[in-house]
Protein backbone atom coordinates (compact mmCIF):
# COMPACT_ATOMS: atom_id res chain seq x y z
CA UNK A 1 0.00 0.00 0.00
CA UNK A 2 1.26 3.45 -0.89
CA UNK A 3 -0.84 5.14 1.83
CA UNK A 4 -1.30 8.83 1.08
CA UNK A 5 0.40 10.22 -2.02
CA UNK A 6 0.72 13.91 -2.84
CA UNK A 7 1.69 15.44 -6.17
CA UNK A 8 3.61 17.53 -6.96
CA UNK A 9 6.20 17.53 -4.19
CA UNK A 10 7.61 20.93 -5.14
CA UNK A 11 6.21 23.82 -7.13
CA UNK A 12 7.13 27.44 -7.72
CA UNK A 13 4.41 29.82 -8.82
CA UNK A 14 4.21 33.47 -9.70
CA UNK A 15 1.66 35.67 -7.96
CA UNK A 16 -1.71 35.30 -9.63
CA UNK A 17 -1.09 31.89 -11.16
CA UNK A 18 -3.32 28.95 -10.40
CA UNK A 19 -2.51 25.37 -9.56
CA UNK A 20 -3.95 22.18 -8.13
CA UNK A 21 -2.44 19.83 -5.57
CA UNK A 22 -3.55 16.23 -5.82
CA UNK A 23 -3.91 13.85 -2.90
CA UNK A 24 -4.62 10.17 -3.37
CA UNK A 25 -5.15 7.50 -0.68
CA UNK A 26 -5.49 3.76 -1.11
CA UNK A 27 -6.79 2.88 2.37
CA UNK A 28 -10.48 3.36 1.54
CA UNK A 29 -10.73 6.13 4.14
CA UNK A 30 -13.89 8.24 4.21
CA UNK A 31 -12.24 11.31 5.69
CA UNK A 32 -9.60 13.46 4.04
CA UNK A 33 -7.96 16.73 5.04
CA UNK A 34 -5.68 19.45 3.73
CA UNK A 35 -3.34 21.22 6.16
CA UNK A 36 -0.70 23.87 5.72
CA UNK A 37 2.39 24.04 7.90
CA UNK A 38 4.32 27.23 8.48
CA UNK A 39 7.30 27.77 10.82
CA UNK A 40 6.10 28.26 14.39
CA UNK A 41 2.43 27.97 13.38
CA UNK A 42 1.87 24.27 13.54
CA UNK A 43 -0.46 22.47 11.17
CA UNK A 44 -3.57 24.45 10.29
CA UNK A 45 -6.61 22.86 8.70
CA UNK A 46 -7.62 24.38 5.35
CA UNK A 47 -10.50 22.17 4.18
CA UNK A 48 -11.68 18.67 4.86
CA UNK A 49 -14.08 16.10 3.47
CA UNK A 50 -16.24 13.55 5.27
CA UNK A 51 -16.98 11.56 2.13
CA UNK A 52 -17.13 11.51 -1.63
CA UNK A 53 -18.84 14.61 -2.96
CA UNK A 54 -18.64 16.54 0.32
CA UNK A 55 -16.26 19.27 1.50
CA UNK A 56 -16.15 21.66 4.43
CA UNK A 57 -14.10 24.65 5.53
CA UNK A 58 -11.42 24.38 8.15
CA UNK A 59 -9.54 27.03 10.09
CA UNK A 60 -7.88 28.84 7.15
CA UNK A 61 -9.97 28.25 3.98
CA UNK A 62 -9.65 31.64 2.26
CA UNK A 63 -7.92 31.54 -1.12
CA UNK A 64 -8.35 27.78 -1.52
CA UNK A 65 -10.93 25.49 -3.06
CA UNK A 66 -11.26 21.74 -2.85
CA UNK A 67 -13.06 18.91 -4.57
CA UNK A 68 -13.70 15.27 -3.68
CA UNK A 69 -15.16 13.74 -6.85
CA UNK A 70 -13.78 10.29 -6.05
CA UNK A 71 -13.43 8.73 -2.62
CA UNK A 72 -9.72 8.16 -3.02
CA UNK A 73 -8.83 11.66 -4.27
CA UNK A 74 -8.92 15.08 -2.63
CA UNK A 75 -7.82 18.08 -4.70
CA UNK A 76 -6.68 21.43 -3.33
CA UNK A 77 -6.81 24.37 -5.72
CA UNK A 78 -5.32 27.85 -5.62
CA UNK A 79 -7.14 30.07 -8.10
CA UNK A 80 -4.87 33.10 -7.78
CA UNK A 81 -1.75 32.37 -5.79
CA UNK A 82 -0.40 34.93 -3.32
CA UNK A 83 2.99 35.04 -1.54
CA UNK A 84 1.14 34.41 1.75
CA UNK A 85 0.30 30.96 0.41
CA UNK A 86 3.95 29.97 0.36
CA UNK A 87 3.95 26.98 2.68
CA UNK A 88 4.23 23.22 2.97
CA UNK A 89 0.90 21.53 2.32
CA UNK A 90 0.00 18.18 3.85
CA UNK A 91 -2.84 15.93 2.91
CA UNK A 92 -4.13 13.40 5.44
CA UNK A 93 -6.81 10.76 5.63
CA UNK A 94 -8.49 8.86 8.44
CA UNK A 95 -10.85 5.96 8.90
CA UNK A 96 -13.00 7.85 11.35
CA UNK A 97 -13.49 11.45 12.30
CA UNK A 98 -12.68 12.63 15.77
CA UNK A 99 -10.36 10.21 17.52
CA UNK A 100 -9.17 8.37 14.42
CA UNK A 101 -5.47 8.69 13.74
CA UNK A 102 -4.46 10.68 10.70
CA UNK A 103 -2.28 9.25 7.94
CA UNK A 104 -0.27 11.99 6.29
CA UNK A 105 1.34 12.34 2.90
CA UNK A 106 4.93 13.50 2.48
CA UNK A 107 3.98 17.10 1.81
CA UNK A 108 4.02 19.51 -1.12
CA UNK A 109 6.30 22.53 -0.83
CA UNK A 110 4.83 25.54 -2.63
CA UNK A 111 6.64 28.82 -3.19
CA UNK A 112 4.78 31.82 -4.56
CA UNK A 113 7.01 34.60 -5.88
CA UNK B 1 -10.01 30.84 21.21
CA UNK B 2 -8.37 27.45 21.56
CA UNK B 3 -4.66 27.61 22.20
CA UNK B 4 -2.08 24.83 22.30
CA UNK B 5 1.40 25.46 23.61
CA UNK B 6 4.44 23.31 23.09
CA UNK B 7 7.94 24.43 23.92
CA UNK B 8 9.23 25.98 20.71
CA UNK B 9 12.83 25.68 21.87
CA UNK B 10 14.65 22.48 21.03
CA UNK B 11 15.13 19.96 23.80
CA UNK B 12 18.66 18.58 23.90
CA UNK B 13 19.33 15.47 25.95
CA UNK B 14 21.98 12.80 26.24
CA UNK B 15 21.43 9.30 24.87
CA UNK B 16 19.97 6.97 27.47
CA UNK B 17 18.17 9.72 29.39
CA UNK B 18 14.43 10.24 29.55
CA UNK B 19 13.03 13.00 27.36
CA UNK B 20 9.91 14.79 28.59
CA UNK B 21 7.89 17.03 26.28
CA UNK B 22 5.02 19.23 27.42
CA UNK B 23 1.74 20.14 25.75
CA UNK B 24 -0.51 22.72 27.41
CA UNK B 25 -3.89 23.79 26.13
CA UNK B 26 -6.34 26.55 27.05
CA UNK B 27 -9.97 27.40 26.30
CA UNK B 28 -10.44 23.79 25.43
CA UNK B 29 -11.77 20.54 26.89
CA UNK B 30 -10.51 17.81 24.57
CA UNK B 31 -11.98 14.33 24.87
CA UNK B 32 -8.67 12.88 23.70
CA UNK B 33 -5.19 13.89 22.67
CA UNK B 34 -2.87 12.51 20.02
CA UNK B 35 0.91 12.70 19.65
CA UNK B 36 2.71 12.63 16.32
CA UNK B 37 6.35 12.44 15.26
CA UNK B 38 7.63 14.48 12.32
CA UNK B 39 11.02 14.08 10.69
CA UNK B 40 12.51 16.87 8.53
CA UNK B 41 10.90 16.97 5.10
CA UNK B 42 8.38 14.27 6.00
CA UNK B 43 4.75 14.12 7.03
CA UNK B 44 3.74 13.55 10.67
CA UNK B 45 3.37 9.97 11.85
CA UNK B 46 0.90 8.96 14.54
CA UNK B 47 2.38 7.66 17.80
CA UNK B 48 -0.19 7.52 20.59
CA UNK B 49 -3.72 8.49 21.53
CA UNK B 50 -4.89 9.04 25.10
CA UNK B 51 -8.48 9.66 26.13
CA UNK B 52 -9.73 12.00 28.86
CA UNK B 53 -10.62 9.08 31.14
CA UNK B 54 -7.09 7.63 30.87
CA UNK B 55 -4.38 9.05 33.07
CA UNK B 56 -1.51 7.29 31.35
CA UNK B 57 -0.79 5.35 28.15
CA UNK B 58 2.33 3.38 27.26
CA UNK B 59 3.77 1.99 24.05
CA UNK B 60 7.23 0.45 24.20
CA UNK B 61 9.57 3.28 25.35
CA UNK B 62 6.84 5.92 25.03
CA UNK B 63 4.57 7.12 27.80
CA UNK B 64 1.89 9.79 27.64
CA UNK B 65 -0.03 11.34 30.52
CA UNK B 66 -3.18 13.46 30.31
CA UNK B 67 -4.16 15.77 33.16
CA UNK B 68 -7.49 17.42 32.38
CA UNK B 69 -7.30 19.50 35.58
CA UNK B 70 -3.94 21.02 34.65
CA UNK B 71 -4.93 21.02 30.96
CA UNK B 72 -1.65 19.38 30.15
CA UNK B 73 -0.20 16.29 28.48
CA UNK B 74 3.33 15.03 29.04
CA UNK B 75 5.13 12.85 26.51
CA UNK B 76 8.05 10.77 27.76
CA UNK B 77 10.65 8.79 25.82
CA UNK B 78 12.69 6.54 28.10
CA UNK B 79 16.19 5.31 27.25
CA UNK B 80 16.31 7.85 24.43
CA UNK B 81 18.34 7.14 21.30
CA UNK B 82 19.73 9.43 18.57
CA UNK B 83 17.09 7.90 16.26
CA UNK B 84 14.43 9.51 18.47
CA UNK B 85 15.59 12.95 17.29
CA UNK B 86 12.61 14.55 15.57
CA UNK B 87 9.85 17.09 16.12
CA UNK B 88 6.94 15.91 18.25
CA UNK B 89 3.48 17.38 17.77
CA UNK B 90 0.57 17.19 20.17
CA UNK B 91 -2.99 17.40 18.88
CA UNK B 92 -5.96 17.65 21.24
CA UNK B 93 -9.31 16.77 19.78
CA UNK B 94 -12.94 16.95 20.84
CA UNK B 95 -15.61 14.41 20.02
CA UNK B 96 -16.57 14.98 16.42
CA UNK B 97 -14.16 17.90 16.13
CA UNK B 98 -11.07 18.23 14.05
CA UNK B 99 -7.67 17.81 15.59
CA UNK B 100 -5.87 21.05 16.45
CA UNK B 101 -2.09 20.77 16.30
CA UNK B 102 0.51 22.46 18.46
CA UNK B 103 3.64 23.96 16.90
CA UNK B 104 5.77 21.00 17.97
CA UNK B 105 8.92 20.57 20.04
CA UNK B 106 12.17 19.52 18.41
CA UNK B 107 14.04 16.82 20.30
CA UNK B 108 17.76 16.29 19.79
CA UNK B 109 19.32 13.20 21.38
CA UNK B 110 23.10 13.34 21.45
CA UNK B 111 25.21 10.16 21.52
pLDDT at residue B57 greater than cutoff 90: yes
Q: Answer positive or negative: Cα dihedral of B51, B31, A91, A36.
A: negative
Quote the pLDDT of residue B96. 58
- B74 pLDDT band (50/70/90 cuts)? very high
Task: Report, in angstroms and rounded to the nearest whole number, the Rg of chain B calculated over CA atoms.
Answer: 13
Cβ proximity of B77 and B85 under 8 Å: no
Shortest distance between the Cα of B100 and any Cα of chain A, in A, equals 7
- Considering A1-10, B78-87, B95-104, the range whose residues carry the highest mean pLDDT is B78-87
Q: pLDDT tens for residues A35-51?
A: 999 987 789 999 999 99
Closest of A98, A19, A8 to residue B96, by C-alpha: A98
Chain A residue with CA closest to B47: the answer is A101
Shortest distance between the Cα of A16 and any Cα of chain B, in A, equals 27
Q: In what order do the strands lie in the sheet with B11-14?
A: B11-14, B105-110, B86-93, B32-38, B45-51
Kindly state the average pLDDT of the residues A69-93.
97
Q: Is the Cβ pair B97, A98 closer than 8 Å?
A: yes
Q: Is the Cβ pair B46, A103 closer than 8 Å?
A: yes
Q: What is the DSSP string of chain B?
A: --EEEE--SPEEEETTSPEEEEEEEES---SEEEEEEE-TTS--EEEEEEETT-SEEEETTEEEEEETTTTEEEEEESS--GGG-EEEEEEEE-TTSPP-----EEEEEE-
Quote the pLDDT of residue A50. 93
- A100 pLDDT band (50/70/90 cuts)? confident
pLDDT at residue A58 greater than cutoff 60: yes
Quote the pLDDT of residue B94. 65
Q: Is the minimum CB–CB distance between B49 and chain A shorter than 8 Å?
A: yes
Q: Is the minimum CB–CB distance between A104 and chain B shorter than 8 Å?
A: yes
Percent of chain B with pLDDT over 70: 96
pLDDT at residue A12 greater than cutoff 70: yes
Quote the pLDDT of residue B75. 98
Picking from B32, B96, B104, the nearest residue to A97 by CB comes out as: B96
Cβ proximity of A108 and A8 under 8 Å: yes
More confident residue, A98 or B57: B57
Q: Is the minimum CB–CB distance between B46 and chain A shorter than 8 Å?
A: yes
Kindly state the average pLDDT of the residues B65-90.
96
Q: Is the Cβ pair B49, A101 closer than 8 Å?
A: yes
- B95 pLDDT band (50/70/90 cuts)? low
Q: pLDDT tens for residues B25-53?
A: 998 889 899 999 999 999 999 999 999 99
Picking from B49, B97, B101, the nearest residue to A42 by CB comes out as: B101
Query: Which A positions 24-53 lie with beta carbon below 8 A of chain B?
Result: 33, 35, 40-45, 48
Kindly state the average pLDDT of the residues B56-63.
97
Quote the pLDDT of residue B1. 75
Amino acid sequence: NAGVTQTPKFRVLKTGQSMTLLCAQDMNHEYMYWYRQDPGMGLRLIHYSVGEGTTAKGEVPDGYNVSRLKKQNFLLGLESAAPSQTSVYFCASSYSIGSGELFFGEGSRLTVL
Amino acid sequence: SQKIEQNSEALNIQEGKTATLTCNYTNYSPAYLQWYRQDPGRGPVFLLLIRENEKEKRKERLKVTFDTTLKQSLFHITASQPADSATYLCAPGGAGNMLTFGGGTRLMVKP
